[in-house]
A and B are shown apart, each in its own frame.
Chain A
Amino acid sequence: MKNDLDNIKNEFLKALEDVSDSLGLEDLRVEYLGRKGKLSQLMKQLPSMAEDVRREVGQLGNDVKKTLELAFTEVSSAMNASEDVARQQTDWIDVTQPGVRPPGGHLHLVTQAIDEVSTIFKRLGFVSTRHPEVDWDYYAFESLNMPKTHPARDEWETFFIGDGGTVQEGKKGKVVLTPHTSNGQVREMEKKQLPIRMININKTYRRQSDASHTPMFHQFEGLMIDKGVTITHLKGVFDYFVKEFFGPEREVRLRPFHFRFTEPSMELDITCGVCLGSGENEGMKCKICKEGWVELGGAGMVHPNVLRAGGLDPDVYSGFAFGWGVERTMVMKSDINIDDIRVLYRNDLRFLEQF
């Protein structure tokens, strides 16, 4: 019995050396280690043996089994590895072929800018809102501290709605295509939900069309109204936006300007992205900016008359408003060299697919 076990062990180890592929290996495993294999067959004799011999042979049988299994595993994993190498040689794919892109369209540049801008203001608690594009004169001008005869109204080259003979008029004056997003200010106040932190991004219209103007364009208007809103808050919010949108290295500047619907009023500048605020580029005066600054938009503290028009007491509430062109902001950020801005709205796929 012991000899038989030794023989099986030697035969198996010998056969293992000669085996050449994984099929032969499996046959060998079944022949010796299988449920009906040689080792099992031999071990079936155990119960008929004397108690003391049985224990010794049983022990020996287990040792042989372990030895065989260990040897088998070694050969088997070596063989698997070498066969895998061989298989990989024939299973190659050409990784230098071009990738197959998933279908991908293109979001319009203006949509991208709107998304980015509103996301930044959202972090400051500003809620995106949309007010009408076609609006009453009252919201576009009158309620913004611009009485009918005020010369400031000449500055907006405004489109009116009408049949060419008469301008449409209704309960709140003439109907206009709003020339700025500020028409949302009093409308927002009329909702009577205070405090207000609004961002109104919308289409606006002015009668001009040239390389740097389109008759339809976009503005975004921020409005914050609460008790105790100050100029320093306006500066803080503007500073936050500029650093988030244009980058932390950009500086901001507020300088006095004049708008009817804010008081004090100011224009917002940021340091030029080309000369980085030095005003000079390679020893020459920077062509992009004025002394290192580029103008971004207008802002100011909401005029008391505008607060009154919105039903608020300027002795209780204060607020700031700012607004500027989406297209301009986007072009300033991206350094996309668009020599004629009108291409934005021509819907030429050769342009749209670039972004």
Chain B
Amino acid sequence: MDIEASYKWLKEYLGEDFEPKRFSKEVTAKSFPVDYTKSMKGAFDGIVVGEILSIEKHANADSLNLAKVDIGKDDPIALVFGSKVVMEVGYKIPVAVAPMVLPGGLEIKKSKIRGEVSEGMLCLDQELGLCDKGMSIRFFEEGMKNGTPLDEALDIIDDTIFDVEITSNRVDSMGIVGLAREAGAAMGIPFTFTPPTLPEAGSGKEIKVDVLDTEGCSRYMAVVIDGVKVAPSPAWLQTKLLLSGHRPINNIVDITNYVLHEFGQPMHAFDYEKLKDGKIVVRRAKKGEKIKALDDETYELAAEDLVIADSDKPIAVAGVMGGSDTGTWDGTTTIVFESATFDGLSVRKTARRHHLYSDSQLLFEKGLSSEAPEAALARAIELTLELAGGAVASEIIDERSSAYEPLVFPFRPQKARDLMGVDLSNEKMIDLLERVGFKVDETNGTYSVIVPFWRDHDIEEEVDLTEEIARLYGYHNMPAELPDSPPPTTPEDPALVWEMRTKKLLVGFGYTELYGYSMISAQDIIAYDLDPASAVQIHNPLTADLTHMRPSLMPSLLRSIERNQGERAVGMVFELQRVYVPQKDDLPEERTELVVAHYGADDVENAFLQIKGGLMSLADMAGITFTFERVADDGHWHSTRSAKILVDGRDVGRIGQVASKYTQAFGIDKDVMCAMLDFQTLVHGMEVTRRYEPIPEFPGIDRDIAVIVDAGLAYGDLVVAVEGADELIRSVKLVEVYRGKGIDEGKKSVTLSMHLRSDSKTLESQDADGAMGRVEAILTGQFSGIIR
């Protein structure tokens, strides 16, 4: 929450002058961030006080008027203006003189409006950027010289506005008094505010207050003032309100807003004559009760809503907004001021329930002290008698559920020093606490701290006092030190280590990392023939395309390919992320999955082999072995171009071509070669230790052999047989598979390279010949091959 605070107003409560810059710097460093500071000098350049000399109807537009306005120059200027506010000859108002730019950015130029020249604009407060709601305008006294610049006319030329972001725990600084106290402590300037005191009780008007719900309302103060004259507030008050972002309405309403801004304590004024039986009841709403609030909307109240009622009906939604019927309007002569403490939670729930928000609700829901209403009421009475006349006409009602007990906490100075890491003396710490209103008692070296009432919702235990000391001392005054204690010996999570390594490896192989939302749509889950009912569902999704936590990376992968295929006809991508599997009566399991894909490749076999080769390199790096088994009965995959991936016999994934049913379902018009791995299972199987194999003592011999076999023969079958042909064969590598010219239809030529070696001697040529003879025998016999 933010407060707009006038520099001049703040200075009323501080004992020394200070530069606005110093305020920004010190308050930001020690209390709250000052979001911006705006000097009012020159803030309204080009806007002056103008006096209306004449008004005529615009000949060509009913809603427009023409005026001659004296802006202190030899000749008056001509203006065209609308009918938002009633104008009369003699009025003195703010006039933007063309050419100029208004604070909101609107450019004012000399122009013709429906044939009539206009040399400027009459400015509403809203057009001046002074407040954003409603419609209001400044009228200046007769004595104000025409042509006076607006900043001078409003007496704000030496003012600066600070926009301060008050943290949610520090509602006490949502008023100028509280903020001045903080600023004084931060800048080291004495805080000189003296709280106003309540006047003597009056008589003549009966008022009875009945608090039926003391949980919702811990204190209710009220007083009747009779004989007030509701009128516009004086200029100084209007200006102060405008600089605080409040629109001036009438003196009584303005006084409640003034007090709200001064103390951060909301108030309300009722028209006494509209209260049935002069009675105020604080209670929960009855079923079906309605109220028309000051925003002109009618709300049907819930039984949990706390209301202020007369003997008959609700007259305000407690702490949130007053009722329109009992508000203070022009004809009001007798008012009742309310200054009360409502329960934050109750106010918050009511505001959320009805989407009804106000300055008052914002403050109450953060938690206000039941000690706060008194000074606010005293100030309101004081200002009313001064500005609206009248007299206190009732006793000053003060209904509270219990006597106030200030909070007291023990304070151990050494504990505070230990947490800060800074050696501050007890005296220094006590001084810092006292600057913001804490009282410190010492008995035999034991300290206890009394919390000031305005902090009674915020200070919850001893450590909170350390925060007060630390921040007021200034974090910027503390040294930066690296911890010198020994670091923990916890090993790194192997899953995290391997995920990062795998990502980098795949990037090295040419794949680009996809990184999608964890949430996908039910449609995409269904499109991949998975069941949304067995996926983790989001109760309150933000949009219809992000409703479920993905149970597999495949739907997102296919969706990404579909979106990219237009701009990138071929792509190599991967994603390594978590998927979410529901578990009964527990949190879902978060499993890590890997998908690697190559779509749009001209040579799908090669794309397949590249993915497979990449996985084999990954397996080598991780110290595991993948085996691949043809799979024909998994409907998600092409029946003759896919395989299971196994580690130690465990099924850990698939590799192959995505079945056309699914590429079609996702609108993909290309083949997608892909591998999908349960990465988590993989990590568990990863061999971290490595073994050393001695370098062979005797050299080996390499021999190649080419054979023509049936095109449908699986290499895997061939190689297993060849490897076992002779004990000298240490490895078999595929050199080439060739189909085409020179090879009959239905056949293929396979060239193998064999490494032969003995552990006991250097091989002679005839040893190798013997082994190769056995290989040939197998190839020609078992596989009916023809050696080339």
Contacts and interface: CB of A to CB of B under 8 A. Distances in A.
- Is A bound to B? yes
Contact of A134 (B169, B415, B536, B560): B536
Contacts of B470: 231, 264
A177 B422 CA distance: 39
Nearest to A352: B512
Nearest to A293: B28
Given A105-B506, A345-B515, A349-B567, A127 B500 contact: no
Interface string B488-515: 1011110110001001101111111111
B510 A103 contact: yes
Given A161-B537, A162-B539, A349-B567, A105 B512 contact: yes
B513 A265 contact: no
Contacts of B542: 159, 207-209, 215
A105 B511 contact: yes
Nearest to A252: B480
A232 B422 contact: yes
A41 to B, nearest CB: 39
Given A161-B538, A349-B567, A350-B568, A255 B482 contact: no
Contacts of B586: 170-171
Given A160-B540, A233-B421, A254 B482 contact: no
Interface in B181-214: none
A134 B586 CA distance: 10
Interface residues of B, number: 93
B480 A263 contact: no
Interface string A160-176: 11111011101100010
A253 B28 CA distance: 11
B483 interface: yes
A278 interface: no
A128 B422 contact: no
Given A151-B365, A230-B420, A258-B167, A128 B492 contact: yes
B515 A258 contact: no
A101 B383 CA distance: 81
A214 B365 CA distance: 29
Interface stretch (B292-300, B570-578, B671-679, B707-715): B570-578
Given A125-B487, A347-B515, A349-B571, A232 B481 contact: yes
Interface string B256-281: 00000000000000000000000000
B497 to A, nearest CB: 8
A266 B29 CA distance: 10
Interface string B742-773: 00000000000000000000000000000000
B546 interface: yes
Interface in A143-201: 149, 151-152, 154-155, 159-164, 166-168, 170-171, 175, 177, 193-197
A264 B482 contact: no
Given A125-B488, A255-B29, A216 B537 contact: no
B476 A347 contact: no
B421 A151 contact: no
Contact of A163 (B167, B488, B539): B539
B417 to A, nearest CB: 9
User: Looking at A230, A231, A240, which has the most chain B CB atoms within 10 Å of its CB?
Assistant: A231
Interface string A320-333: 00000000000000
Given A160-B538, A207-B542, A255-B29, A235 B510 contact: no
B31 A353 contact: no
B775 to A, nearest CB: 35
Contact of B539 (A149, A160, A233, A318): A160
B295 to A, nearest CB: 22
Contacts of B31: 256
Contacts of A244: none
User: Looking at B28, B482, B539, B543, which has the most chain A CB atoms within 10 Å of its CB?
Assistant: B539
Contacts of A105: 506-513, 572-574
Nearest to A253: B476
Q: Is the interface of A mostly helix, strand, loop or mixed?
A: mixed
A232 B35 CA distance: 26
Contacts of B543: 209
User: Looking at B419, B470, B574, which has the most chain A CB atoms within 10 Å of its CB?
Assistant: B419
A239 B475 CA distance: 13
Contact of A236 (B24, B483, B504): B483
Nearest to B422: A232
A111 B513 contact: yes
Given A161-B537, A253-B476, A318-B419, A132 B517 contact: no
A228 to B, nearest CB: 7
A304 B572 CA distance: 50
B345 to A, nearest CB: 5
Contact of B493 (A128, A240, A303): A128
User: Looking at B366, B480, B509, which has the most chain A CB atoms within 10 Å of its CB?
Assistant: B480
Given A151-B348, A209-B542, A256 B509 contact: no
Contacts of B574: 105
A235 to B, nearest CB: 4
Given A132-B590, A235-B478, A256-B475, A106 B512 contact: yes
B464 interface: yes
A236 B563 CA distance: 46
B539 A239 contact: no
Contacts of B35: 290
Contacts of A237: 482-483
Nearest to A127: B490
Given A209-B543, A236-B483, A349-B568, A231 B537 contact: no
A31 to B, nearest CB: 37
A350 B491 CA distance: 38
User: Looking at A104, A205, A264, A303, which has the most chain B CB atoms within 10 Å of its CB?
Assistant: A264
B551 to A, nearest CB: 13
B485 A226 contact: yes
Interface string B168-180: 1110000000000
B106 interface: no
Contacts of B366: 151
A151 B478 contact: no
A265 to B, nearest CB: 7
A318 B588 CA distance: 32
B461 A304 contact: yes
A301 B470 CA distance: 11
A209 B537 CA distance: 19
A240 B630 CA distance: 53
A94 B495 CA distance: 47
B365 A230 contact: no
A305 to B, nearest CB: 8
A78 interface: no
A9 interface: no
Contacts of B476: 253-254
Contacts of A124: 482, 487
B549 interface: yes
Contacts of A110: 515
Contacts of B33: 255, 257, 267, 290
Given A228-B418, A230-B420, A232-B479, A347 B563 contact: yes
Interface of B: 24, 28-33, 35-36, 167-170, 344-345, 348, 365-366, 415, 418-422, 461, 463-464, 466-467, 470-471, 475-476, 478-483, 485-488, 490-493, 495-496, 500, 503-504, 506-519, 536-543, 546, 549, 556, 560, 563-564, 567-568, 571-574, 578, 580, 585-588, 590
Given A105-B509, A136-B587, A255-B475, 19 more contacts: A105-B510, A108-B515, A127-B488, A130-B496, A134-B536, A134-B590, A161-B537, A203-B578, A215-B517, A216-B517, A228-B418, A230-B421, A231-B420, A232-B479, A235-B475, A237-B482, A255-B28, A258-B168, A263-B463
18 contacts: A103-B509, A105-B511, A107-B503, A114-B500, A134-B588, A151-B168, A151-B348, A161-B588, A162-B539, A164-B539, A215-B542, A229-B485, A232-B422, A256-B167, A258-B168, A266-B471, A301-B419, A347-B560
Closest CB pairs A-B (n = 8): A125-B487, A230-B421, A103-B510, A162-B539, A264-B467, A232-B421, A258-B167, A254-B475
